Amino acid sequence: MLNFGEWNGGIIFFSLLHLLIFLLAAPLLQGWIKKVKAFWQMRQGPSLFQPYRDLWKYMRKEEVVSEHASWIFLVTPSLVLGSTILASCVVPGPWGWAPIHSLGSMFWLAASLGLARFFLALAGLDAGGTFGGMGSSREVFVAALVEPGFILSLAVLALMTETTSLMGMSAALQGLSIFETPRVLALFALFVIAIAELGRIPVDNPDTHLELTMIHEGMLLDYSGPSLGFLTWAEQLKQLLLLQLLTFLILPVNIQVMNSWSGGIPFGMLLSHGILQIGFLALLGTFFATLESINVKVRLFRIPNVLAMGLAAAVLALLTLWITKGGI
């Protein structure tokens, strides 16, 4: 039996462990997605651990900063990584626990990711480069279509579970059918939105080196060295957080016993749920990699047609919930 209440400082220890696991697992998920894409392209592809080598390479490189850059350009990499780490504090891991699990944690998640996007868009403009400014304007264009649907989808799930805590949602969703119409529509909306948030085809191409088609990568062109490493790590961590968010909303963990720090956690239960969620997380990575391999990037002005499906599904989920409950 694991007992979190046996010693003082247990919460701090497990909070740090939670963050450390997320930070170390994020590059591994990126390596897995690249490996699956290489499989569909019938080539060997890079090693699963290549993202770790890339991060280590960036950290040892010399950094070159534009003479036109201000303090915004300099602080953005650390701020983006820090904001993404803050977001990971509210997303439950495969073990069904998050360091911050109070009411309103879903708004914490949206605000943290929004803050990172805001400063990254400013940094793309700040360096004075043509492609950085182009990437920033496109990023804001996509964000205006993505963020309302993202918040609305979480709001629908919050109304269904009567809590705005992501950890509380995981506990409450276990007692609800996964085939309830509002839940299915909200999850579909999150799937569509995750494609755009992760910069994946058909919205964006994370592997492109053609500046005219870049969205997210365009804002990173002026960065190098450790700053580029921080931004790359933050993007990998954001990818892990969104896929883990989908994982525990689809397969919620039984955390009723985990809500009490005075009680023990059966190790077998923790292990079985953890293995199930990690397997489903890898399956989601395979799904997105496969989807990216069988589709092509759409034109910029056709992106609203793709993202409108997510927003429409979120609105329809809210209306369906309203009708089934006879008013909210």
Angle among Cα 106, 31, 249 to the nearest 5 degrees reads 25
Distance of CA 250 to the CA centre of its chain: 15
pLDDT of residue 7: 42
| pLDDT beyond 90 at 209 | no
Mean pLDDT of 79-84: 96
pLDDT mean over 89-103: 85
Query: Over the chain, what is the mean pLDDT?
Result: 87
The per-residue pLDDT for 279 is 93
3-state secondary structure of 70: coil
Query: Where are the domains positioned within the chain?
Result: 17-254+267-325
Q: Is the pLDDT of residue 12 over 80?
A: yes
Name the pLDDT band for 103 (thresholds 50, 70, 90). Answer: confident
What is the reported pLDDT for 170? 83
Residue 5 confidence (pLDDT): 44
Residue pair 51/229 in contact by the 8 Å Cβ criterion: no
Spatial separation of the C-alpha atoms in residues 237 and 150, rounded to whole Å: 18
Predicted TM-score (pTM) of the model is 0.91
pLDDT digit string (tens) for 113-171?
999 999 999 999 998 878 888 889 899 999 999 999 999 999 999 999 989 989 888 88
**CB-CB contact of 9 with 218 (8 Å):** no
Beta strands 2-3; 264-265: pairing state: antiparallel
Is 247 in contact with 37 (CB distance < 8 Å)?
no
Asked whether the predicted pLDDT for residue 8 surpasses 60, the reply is: no
Are 170 and 92 in contact, with CB atoms under 8 Å apart?
Answer: yes
Torsional class of 156: left (φ above 0), alpha (ψ -120 to 50), beta (otherwise)? alpha
3-state DSSP call for residue 227? Answer: helix
For 280-317, b/e burial (b = at least 16 CB within 10 A) is: bbbebbbebbeebeeeebeeeeebeeebeebbebbbbb
For residue 3, pLDDT beyond 60:
no
SS3 content of the chain, % helix, strand, coil (to 5): 70, 0, 30
